[in-house]
Amino acid sequence: MSDPYFCAPACFIRFDGSDETLDWSGCPIVRLSDTASGLPPREETQVQCCWSPERFYVRFVCRDTYAVSKFENRDDPLYEQDVVELFIDEEGDGRKYLELEVSPRNVVFDAWIEHDGRERVTGLDKEWNLEGLRTGVRLIEPDCREYLISIPAAHFEAPLAPGVQWRANFYRIDEDESGMREYQAWRPTGKINFHMPSRFGTVVLT
């Protein structure tokens, strides 16, 4: 089994209850790889996570010299263009998990996925919305985009606390100017298929 991601408690620069600014400097960084080959991608993606008793936070930092993003509505098929993705399997059995996507235009796709535990999706509920979700996207350099995701603790079955762990994976789809698409993952799946929960990694709250 691959080494887990040890998710540190959130360190706030500013917090007023409805909005917060996080200090990410103490959060471990993972770098995504090509999901089929495991090799370094054309454009780098870094991911960090942290948590508080109230929320779980994820940050993607993506080198992005060319963005394809035309969708405007929640639950549009964002996976057909540039997007970052987070899958979380709280039970850890590969049968049901959250799929959350954010586009460069800060459009969200959120759904519950039912799965056979191997390679096949057996159900998709995209009518469900993750209540209290917060997301944000901004350019932090001319060719670098930051995505922030904040999930309320109420979404999870178990309270957020040290020792809690989930099966999870982080993904990115990135299209270049020629139309070539690159599929990236924290834990590569060995093929262009993100829906392989047997290949998910483990996130542990510390």
**Tell me: the pLDDT tens digits for 163-187?**
999 999 999 999 999 999 999 999 9
In sequence order, what are the beta bridge partners of 97? 113
Domains contained in the chain, number: 1
Containing structural domain, residue 186: 5-205
Note the pTM of the prediction, 2 decimals: 0.95
Pick from 17-21, 50-54, 130-134: least confident: 17-21
CATH code (residue 93): 2.60.40.1190
Give the closest residue to 173 by CA, choosing from 50, 27, 36. 36
- CA distances (Å), origin 42, targets 32, 62, 142, 148, 184: 11, 11, 17, 22, 10
Give the closest residue to 193 by CA, choosing from 126, 92, 119, 83. 119
